[in-house]
Chains A and B, each alone.
Chain A
Amino acid sequence: MDKIVTKDNMAAWLRSLREKYEMIGPVKRPDGAPEFRDIDMMPPGIIPGGIEVALDNAAWLMPPKDYLLPPTETLFTYDEKDQAEPLKVPLAGDKPRLLLGLRACDARAIRVLDHVYLDGAFADPYYAARRKGMVMVGNVCDEARWSCFCTSVGEPVEWLKDLDAVITDIGAGFVVTANTPVGESLLDSSYLSDPSDQQMNLKVAAWDKLAAIPKRPFADKLAKDFLAWDDPIWEKYARKCLGCGICSYLCPSCSCFDIQDERVAGQIERFRCRDTCQTCYFTLMPSHNPRPEKKMRMRQRLSHKFKYQPEQFDIIGCTGCGRCVELCPVNLDIRQALAEVTPNE
Chain B
Amino acid sequence: MDIQEIRNKAKRLLESGEVKVVVGYERGSTESKSTPAFIESPDDVDRLIWDATCVNNLAAYAIQEAKNGGVAIIARDCDARSIVMLVQEHQLDKDAVRVIEVPDETQWADDPALPESLEERRAFWAKEFEKCTRCYACRQACPGCFCNTCFIDRIVPRWAAKRAGASDAWMFHVTRAMHQAGRCGDCRECSRVCPVGIPVHLLAREIETFVGELFDYKAGMDMDADPVLGTFTPEDPDPNEHGG
Interface residues of A (CB under 8 A from B): 31, 33, 61, 70-72, 146-147, 239-240, 242-246, 249-250, 258, 260, 262, 271, 273-274, 276, 279, 281, 284-285, 325, 327, 329-333, 335-336
The answer to whether B29 and A333 have CB atoms under 8 Å apart is: yes
The answer to whether A242 and B140 have CB atoms under 8 Å apart is: yes
Tell me which residues across on chain B come within 8 A of A72, comparing CB atoms. 163-165
Q: Flag B135-165 by CB within 8 Å of A: 1 or 0 each.
A: 1110111000000000001010010011111
Tell me which residues across on chain A come within 8 A of B131, comparing CB atoms. 33
Asked if A330 meets B35 with Cβ closer than 8 Å, knowing A245-B134, A273-B163, the reply is yes
Tell me which residues across on chain B come within 8 A of A273, comparing CB atoms. 134, 161-164
The answer to whether B35 and A240 have CB atoms under 8 Å apart is: yes
Tell me which residues across on chain B come within 8 A of A244, comparing CB atoms. 135-137, 139-141, 193
Shortest Cβ distance from residue A321 to the other chain B in the assembled complex, whole angstroms: 14
The answer to whether B29 and A331 have CB atoms under 8 Å apart is: yes
Tell me which residues across on chain B come within 8 A of A239, comparing CB atoms. 38, 64
Asked if A330 meets B29 with Cβ closer than 8 Å, knowing A71-B133, A258-B162, the reply is no
Confirm or deny: B121 has a beta carbon within 8 angstroms of a beta carbon on chain A. Answer: no
Q: What 8 A-B pairs come out closest when comparing CB atoms?
A: A71-B164, A244-B137, A329-B193, A245-B135, A333-B29, A331-B28, A331-B35, A244-B140
Chain B interface size band reads: 35 or more
Tell me which residues across on chain A come within 8 A of B141, comparing CB atoms. 242, 244, 329
Q: How many A-B residue pairs have CB under 8 A?
A: 98
Shortest Cβ distance from residue B26 to the other chain A in the assembled complex, whole angstroms: 10
The answer to whether B135 and A281 have CB atoms under 8 Å apart is: no
* Distance, CA A258 to CA B134, complexed state (A): 13
Tell me which residues across on chain B come within 8 A of A147, comparing CB atoms. 30
Tell me which residues across on chain B come within 8 A of A274, comparing CB atoms. 133-134, 162, 164
Taking A33-B196, A244-B193 as given, write out 7 further A-B residue pairs in contact, using a Cβ cutoff of 8 Å, ordered by the A residue number.
A70-B164, A146-B30, A240-B36, A245-B136, A250-B135, A329-B141, A336-B29
Tell me which residues across on chain B come within 8 A of A243, comparing CB atoms. 140
Asked if A245 meets B137 with Cβ closer than 8 Å, knowing A239-B38, A273-B164, A332-B35, the reply is yes
The answer to whether A330 and B36 have CB atoms under 8 Å apart is: yes
The answer to whether A331 and B33 have CB atoms under 8 Å apart is: yes
* Distance, CA A240 to CA B133, complexed state (A): 22
Q: Flag B170-197 by CB within 8 Å of A: 1 or 0 each.
A: 0000000000000000000100110111
Shortest Cβ distance from residue A43 to the other chain B in the assembled complex, whole angstroms: 14
Shortest Cβ distance from residue B57 to the other chain A in the assembled complex, whole angstroms: 10
Tell me which residues across on chain A come within 8 A of B35, comparing CB atoms. 240, 330-333
Shortest Cβ distance from residue B74 to the other chain A in the assembled complex, whole angstroms: 14
Tell me which residues across on chain B come within 8 A of A70, comparing CB atoms. 164
* Distance, CA A239 to CA B135, complexed state (A): 19
Tell me which residues across on chain B come within 8 A of A284, comparing CB atoms. 155
Shortest Cβ distance from residue B140 to the other chain A in the assembled complex, whole angstroms: 4
Confirm or deny: B82 has a beta carbon within 8 angstroms of a beta carbon on chain A. Answer: no
* Distance, CA A31 to CA B127, complexed state (A): 11
Asked if A331 meets B34 with Cβ closer than 8 Å, knowing A31-B197, A262-B161, the reply is yes
Tell me which residues across on chain B come within 8 A of A325, comparing CB atoms. 29
The answer to whether B36 and A33 have CB atoms under 8 Å apart is: no
The answer to whether A260 and B161 have CB atoms under 8 Å apart is: yes
The answer to whether B161 and A250 have CB atoms under 8 Å apart is: no
The answer to whether B33 and A249 have CB atoms under 8 Å apart is: no
Confirm or deny: B88 has a beta carbon within 8 angstroms of a beta carbon on chain A. Answer: no
* Distance, CA A146 to CA B32, complexed state (A): 10
* Distance, CA A249 to CA B56, complexed state (A): 21
Shortest Cβ distance from residue A251 to the other chain B in the assembled complex, whole angstroms: 11
Tell me which residues across on chain B come within 8 A of A330, comparing CB atoms. 35-36, 56
* Distance, CA A262 to CA B28, complexed state (A): 43
A-B contact pairs, 10 of them (CB 8 A): A33-B131, A33-B197, A72-B164, A242-B141, A245-B137, A249-B134, A260-B161, A273-B164, A284-B155, A329-B56
* Distance, CA A242 to CA B64, complexed state (A): 11
* Distance, CA A286 to CA B201, complexed state (A): 35
Confirm or deny: B204 has a beta carbon within 8 angstroms of a beta carbon on chain A. Answer: no
* Distance, CA A147 to CA B28, complexed state (A): 12
The answer to whether B153 and A281 have CB atoms under 8 Å apart is: yes
Tell me which residues across on chain A come within 8 A of B10, comparing CB atoms. none
Confirm or deny: B13 has a beta carbon within 8 angstroms of a beta carbon on chain A. Answer: no
Tell me which residues across on chain B come within 8 A of A61, comparing CB atoms. 195-196
Asked if A260 meets B162 with Cβ closer than 8 Å, knowing A330-B35, A331-B29, the reply is yes
Confirm or deny: B96 has a beta carbon within 8 angstroms of a beta carbon on chain A. Answer: no
Tell me which residues across on chain B come within 8 A of A31, comparing CB atoms. 197
The answer to whether B60 and A242 have CB atoms under 8 Å apart is: yes
Tell me which residues across on chain A come within 8 A of B34, comparing CB atoms. 331
* Distance, CA A249 to CA B163, complexed state (A): 13
Tell me which residues across on chain A come within 8 A of B29, comparing CB atoms. 325, 331, 333, 335-336
* Distance, CA A274 to CA B36, complexed state (A): 28
